[in-house]
Structure 1
Amino acid sequence: MTDFGKKEYFYNRELSWMKFNERVLEEARDKENPLLERIKFLSITASNLDEFFMVRVASLSDMVKVGYEKPDPAGLKPSQQLVKISEAAHQMISQQYSTYSRILKKLLNEHHIHVLELAELSRKQLDFVDHYFSREVYPVLTPMAVDSSRPFPLILNKSINIAAFIHKSGEEQKNHEFATVQVPNVLPRVVKIPSADGEYDFVLLESIIRRHLQKLFVGYIIDEASCYRVMRDMDLEVDEEDTEDLLKEIEKQLRKRERGNVIHLDVESGISDRLLRTLTKRLDVSKDNVYQVNGPIDLTFLSRLAGVLDDLDDLRFPPHRPFVHYELMDHPIFDTLREKDVFLHHPYDSFDPVIEMVRQAAVDQNVLAIKMTLYRVSGNSPIIRYLERAAENGKQVTVLVELKARFDEENNINWAQKLEKTGCHVIYGLVGLKTHCKMMLIVRRESTGIKRYMHFGTGNYNDITAKFYTDMGLLTSNEQMGIDASNVFNMLSGYSEPPYFHKLVIAPLWLRDTMLHLIDNEIHEAEAGKPAYIHAKMNSLSDEQMIKALYRASAAGVKIKLLVRGICCLRTGIPGISENIEVHSIVGRYLEHSRIYIFGNGGERKVFLASADLMTRNLNRRVELMFPIEDGQIQSTIVDLFDIMMSDNVKTRVLKRDGQYVKEDKRGKIPVNAQEYFARLAERRAATRQKSIREKRTFTPIMGHEDEDEDDRTSD
């Protein structure tokens, strides 16, 4: 019997993530991308790496501290993983700064966009900087001395600081003192300064402060100064079993998180050994976790730079106009859903119909109840406003707000409290589980009785990210799905645990077993000589049991095509194991976020969408949802979308057996950029619809005036 669990059959999860961030970095170096998009990609790699350190590296460090030495499926112990991560991260950060200083900064200069050092400023610009410091910056600065009576201050996570050695005027330099100043995050880091016509000149806030550092230490001489930044362990540790009030406990843990252990220290290259030793000792950070960078610390400032250059559209991706389903926007949405299911593919289809569904439900006198799960929402969410309006209108509104959504905890606490004040029932999910499923249930009284309307999605109810995350959703009034949806919400809000569901598949109850059953079924079809295949798209693939199941299927002859954007611990091309598996990763303009699972099923194909990736946390420790697509036309649409994505040869990298991702040679082939293709298709659909409206408006009936509805919207 074949052993599918050998360590050489698996790739380490953390190192696979590093490979993903390398693919994002490639987009920053890609000459085909517009310049401002390239600097945003570089900023994203920096932001990604920050979160990776604060969560994954911090978790591994905790394992090492408590002596946990169990190896991962690839055979690496936590301590070994940290060594390899450090090597890869040092190399990646070096590549990031090389990309910035050797490529992108030069290109910015060529387009008259300058991030200047103090020595490059003109007299007029220096006068501006001096005035700006006195007026805006100086009042909010707080220099912190460190001596016997003043302990080393708390350095806030991800804040940029300036460390300095100073000595008193008239005394010897060897009698130096240590001091630190936080660069205030309440002020913009990228400061626009006066420039000639057609030029865009900027200086970073820390440069302005360093120019005037002497003013903060009157009577002292500054011997040296250098910028630094720390990252801390930002994982929450909440014992939900012993917590009476989860909301208060999360709030308490958020305050404690700012004091988490330092797991990463950025310093400017050129910092003296003496100053570096002081920082590492005071912050209790090892040399392996110190990163000397040749440029501005924290490259996420590049996203802010791109944001303030709002008049340079020729240096950005051309705008995409989503297709708007006006049959849902201009008419009662419930009338449409009684007749048919509606499929949405964001951002190519507008997210507005989902918002409109909540709005119509809030004001519809026949709607009795609205129930939703909220994992992440935008800062000024229209969905929140309409839920509040619904409660004010006497609807029963139940909202599950996931307080443990990483780095959105504080935002979600605020929404939860706001919703409760307007009369909404707010619940916080099940003990020990994150509620990650995306679903909305609307209960309506109609002439035929109670009717349920649902939205199920692969992404969050966030109107902002819906513009640049690719996600899929289903609007339906399917009766059995409605019964299941009611049962899910009863399970989340009470103690109900239904013995079975009609259509929906829920984790952690049944999703793992269902997925294994579907894979095993394809194995049986292949062994029976029937066509058998598995086509799947997800963000990450790391669950050991799922990978072994896919290996079994491949060995049995099942053809497997996988679109995995990020982490993939499966290895392709292993003889007799994974020869029938191909893995593609699309990294492009939009962040691929949808999850699709398609099974050949002996010719009676099955198509599902889901909120879950094939990761252990999704299958075991989260409330997730997989829902079937039963409408034949929508099934065909999703299958076609998957096939087009698999045929992408512009933004796709193919996973090779050695764990490397390689762009295919497209010489002699027609370039296929799936994201651009879907965007153009949406625009053609919008143009076709506009044409039909114009033709309708120019048609004059035999009787009466032109057939025109005043409320009909004609622009997309």
Structure 2
Amino acid sequence: MSNFIYNNRELSWLDFNYRVLKQAINPTVPLLEKLKFVAIHASNLDEFFMVRVAGLKDQVDAGYDVADISMRTPKQQLEEISTKVSSQVKTRNDIFENHLKPQLKSKRILINPKEYLSQVEEIFYLEILPVLTPVALNNINKIPFIQNLTSVFFVELEKDSKLFYSILIIPGVLPKSFKIKYKKQSVYYTTNYIVEKFLNKVYTNYNIKRYFLFRLTRNADLPIHQELSEDLLEAIEHYLDMRKKSNVVRLEIDREVDRYFIDKMIEYFDIEQNDIYITNGLIDFSFIFNMQETKKSLYYESFKPAVPLWLQKIEKRSFFEVLKSNDIFFIRPYHDFKLIIKFLEEAVLDKNVLSLKITLYRTNDDSKIIELLEKAAKNGKHVSVVIELKARFDEEKNVEWAKRLENAGCIVTYGFLDLKIHAKCMLVVRKEANKLVRYTHISTGNYNEKTALVYTDIDYLTKDELTGQEIINLFNYMMGYSDIFEWQRIKISPKNLRDSIINLIDNEIKNTKKGKKGRIIAKLNSLYDKQISDKLYEASLAGVKIDLIVRGLCSVVPKVKNMSENITVKSIIGRFLEHARILYFYDNGNERMFISTADWMVRNFDKRIEILYEIHNFKAKKFLKSILNINLSDKTAWELVKYTYKKPHLDNTSIGSQELLLKSIQKIL
């Protein structure tokens, strides 16, 4: 057994979410954007409980007591998660109540002020009360089923010296908040707050003795087992229905309550004491996402995604003409993702294009991509779509896309029961001068026009013949179970991606031991894999300089003597969600560069179809290296030193890598 040490996955992720929360007090962030970071922290935490905590609880219930690589059992992890989450919720409430609300008030923006309740009484009677249904709790009426993340009032009533109990579910059909303009102020009232203040109008003939607001979080981590159904579409639809009725993994209560009520909650929902979180504040921050103000200074400065200058000069030409002599590459959202939509649109309308193949993991409502694929099929082109039905929380939407595309005449397949297809690529086959030419698009991000404006990702278009052939082989594997994987341009998981990364690291170790320079830069979303972590520690001990730019969780513990002294770990949290995966290996001066859909995680290496694509174009390599260098020089980034992230020193003049790229992207490409 090695003497290496590792960060715990779940606790490391919670540290990442804490860094997100801290953006709410970052002096460089505009006020309403700060508020959004509070809501993002809360939303992230909801998903964390639905998936990660749910999975740990399933392990405990199954009697699984094996420690992870950080030497913590599932039960120990749950205990530490409970402590850390309680601390973060307390910090979040402090930021919201004592930092942001006073700042908002100075801008004449109020949230749940007590003094203007009379202004929303009509809203309560006309828009809220008609859809409320109080439910009595007694021997006849047991507690009804409560949907995931639904707010509920528990009310103790008195009448004729007798006590009665009731719950009041806040229906999901109601908006999360209402906005009124009063005395030149924007006044926001959450629906929960309005109902609370008018509870006596719901229970008109009773004396309300005590009440509290609570919210349930349910298990959303429902695995699809191969033996359950041969029809994956049917299995997904079945589990979407089951998810709505899954077990409770967290119960939030908005205030301190008597032990009697805690015991009631434990009994009703079959939970344990440490599943209950007393928030002493709001339990639902999602209303923030719908807040809208007109003052531009309250938001990030608007920007228009750019078209690379060199491409502007030839933009009026056909993409196919451009790609004969130039690969097209760019980074969104600084560059315009609509370039890819325009490329697809041109392919759909081009009479010489014979076929289109594409993978879909997540896409947006009103998707232009879906519309164009439908149009291509109706125009007689051969359209093949590999759609991932198991993309978490997008399953229902992807089922709809699958049916819609099939109805249009596309060939739709769903990949594998036991593997998620996370690869993002598109292939266009065009007839030119009596031969077939392949045009390939590979990306680190989804075909989603909405997230393309807020996620940083790399897009790469090429006419390279070898790339096209290997992507065809990949589609054949995903759609027809071909088993040829000896490719030069791309590596895929679960077949050979992890081994390829290990070989690249080993090469740096070998060169360093020969007295040559060893250098690795890896930009990732997350890193949690023992084999890769151990190999990085081995490389560090050999003298390889390793810079990791990891947005989220990270199992590697850097800057430990005689283990990881040559490893740095930085985390960039900002306006955009860092999502691109870019890898650099010095290779004795040959400087190999890759883009990838895969993080360095067990799930990405073993449980998903992922792509690692080597870039050979000199200009593209130079561009990607510039992105990495800008990230590494970011003074606003957090740095991990052993187990603790060092908070950057920020003031109103601090400029991070994202702001720098917004201002100078045309100079880089």
Instruction: Confirm or deny a common fold (TM above 0.5).
Output: yes
Q: For residue 100 of structure 2, what is the aligned residue in structure 1?
A: 104
Instruction: Give the structure 2 partner of residue 30 of structure 1.
Output: 26
Partner residue in 2 for 1:574: 560
Classify the secondary structure of the residue corresponding to 1:394.
coil
Q: Which amino acid aligns with 1:321?
A: K
Is the 1:372–1:400 Cα contact (8 Å) retained in structure 2?
A: yes
CA contact (8 A) 2:214 2:283 kept: yes
Residue pair 1:505, 1:627 contacting (<8 A) in 2 also: yes
Give the superposition deviation at 1:420: 1.2
**Structure 2 CA distance, aligned partners of 1:559 and 1:314?**
42
Q: Structure 1 CA distance, aligned partners of 2:557 and 2:564?
A: 7
> Which of 173, 192, 202 is the aligned partner of 2:179?
192
SS at match of 2:660: helix
Measure, in 2, the Cα distance between the counterparts of 1:532 and 1:426: 45
Give the drift of 1:417.
1.2
Q: Are 1:61 and 2:57 matched, yes or no?
A: yes
What secondary structure is seen at the aligned counterpart in 1 of 2:251? strand
Task: Give how far 1:666 is off.
Answer: 8.4
Determine the structure 1 residue equivalent to 2:532.
Answer: 546
Choose which of 4, 12, 18 in structure 2 pairs with 1:16: 12
Aligned mate of 2:76, from 76, 80, 83: 80
Q: 1:495 is matched by which residue type in structure 2?
A: Y
Q: What is the rounded CA distance, in whole Å, between the counterparts of 1:642 and 1:332 in structure 2?
A: 31
Question: RMSD over aligned Cα, in angstroms?
Answer: 1.8
Distance verdict in 2 for CA 1:359–1:328, change over 3 Å: farther
SS at the partner of 2:182? coil
Determine if contact 2:176/2:286 at 8 Å carries over to the other structure: no
Aligned AA (1:456): I
Identical counterparts, % of pairs: 37
Q: TM-score, normalised by structure 1?
A: 0.90
* Deviation at residue 492 of structure 1 after TM alignment: 0.8
Residue pairs, 1:151-550, within 5 angstroms: 151-167=142-158, 169=159, 171-172=160-161, 175-197=162-184, 199-217=185-203, 219-305=205-291, 308-309=292-293, 311-324=294-307, 325-326=311-312, 330-550=316-536
SS in 2 for 1:163: strand
Structure 2 vs 1, CA of residues 664 and 189 (structure 1 numbering), >3 Å: closer, same or farther? Answer: closer
- Letter in structure 1 aligned against 2:150: S
Partners of 1:511 and 1:241 in 2: CA distance: 28
Answer whether contact 2:485 2:495 (CA < 8 A) is retained: no
Distance 1:25 1:441 in 2: 40
Distance of 1:420 and 1:38 partners within structure 2 = 43
Deviates more, 1:426-435 or 1:492-501: 492-501
Q: CA deviation at 1:266?
A: 0.8
- The 1:259/1:242 distance shift into structure 2, 3 A limit, reads closer
Separation in structure 2 between the aligned mates of residue 312 and residue 225 of structure 1, nearest angstrom: 38
- The change in CA–CA distance for 1:328 and 1:615 in structure 2 (over 3 A counts) is farther
Shift of 1:215: 4.2
Deviations 1:241-263 (A, max 9, x none): 44121111111111111111111
User: Separation in 2 of the partners of 1:326 and 1:391?
Assistant: 30
Q: CA deviation at 1:402?
A: 0.7
Contact conserved, 2:388 with 2:414, CA < 8 A, in 1? yes
Gap runs ≥5 in structure 2: none
Residues 136-151 of structure 1: matches in 2 within 5 Å? 136-151=127-142
Are residues 1:656 and 2:641 paired? Answer: yes
Instruction: Assess, with a 3 A threshold, how the Cα gap between structure 1 residues 666 and 136 changes in structure 2: closer, same or farther.
Output: closer
Deviation at 1:470, TM superposition (A): 0.7
User: CA offsets per residue over residues 179-230 of structure 1, 9 Å max, x none?
Assistant: 1122122221120124012x11121112222334344445433322221101
User: What is the total number of aligned residue pairs between the two structures?
Assistant: 665
What secondary structure does 1:176 align onto? strand
Displacement of 1:504 after TM fit? Answer: 0.9
Question: Does the 8 A contact of 1:649 with 1:663 survive in 2?
Answer: no
Please tell me whether the aligned partners of residues 228 and 235 of structure 2 are also in contact (alpha carbons under 8 angstroms): no
Alpha-carbon shift at residue 490 of structure 1 (Å):
0.8
Q: Tell me what 1:608 maps to.
A: 594
* Amino acid of the structure 2 residue aligned with 1:6: N
Equivalent residue of 2:54, what SS? helix
Normalised by the size of structure 2, how large is the TM-score? 0.96
Task: Specify whether residues 532 and 153 from structure 1 end up closer, same or farther in structure 2 by C-alpha distance, changes over 3 A only.
Answer: same
- SS at structure 1 position matched to 2:16: helix
* Ranges of 4+ aligned residues in structure 1 off by more than 6 Å: 683-686
SS of the counterpart of 1:633?
Answer: helix
Q: Which has the larger radius of gyration?
A: 1
Distance 2:378 2:315 in 1: 23
Q: How far apart, in 1, do the equivalents of 2:623 and 2:334 lie? A: 14
Deviation at 1:672, TM superposition (A): 5.0
Larger CA deviation: 638-647 vs 147-156: 147-156
Contact 1:457 1:473 in 2 (8 A): yes
Alpha-carbon offset, residue 21 of structure 1: 0.9
**CA deviation profile, 1:378-413 (whole Å, cap 9, x unmatched):** 111111111111111111111111111111111111
Letter in structure 1 aligned against 2:408: T
Counterpart AA for 1:31? P
Which residues of structure 1 form unaligned runs of 5+? 687-716
Contact conserved, 2:225 with 2:417, CA < 8 A, in 1? no
CA distance in 2 between counterparts of 1:510 and 1:440 reads 21
How far has the Cα of 1:58 moved from its partner?
Answer: 0.7
Distance 1:685 1:508, change over 3 A: closer
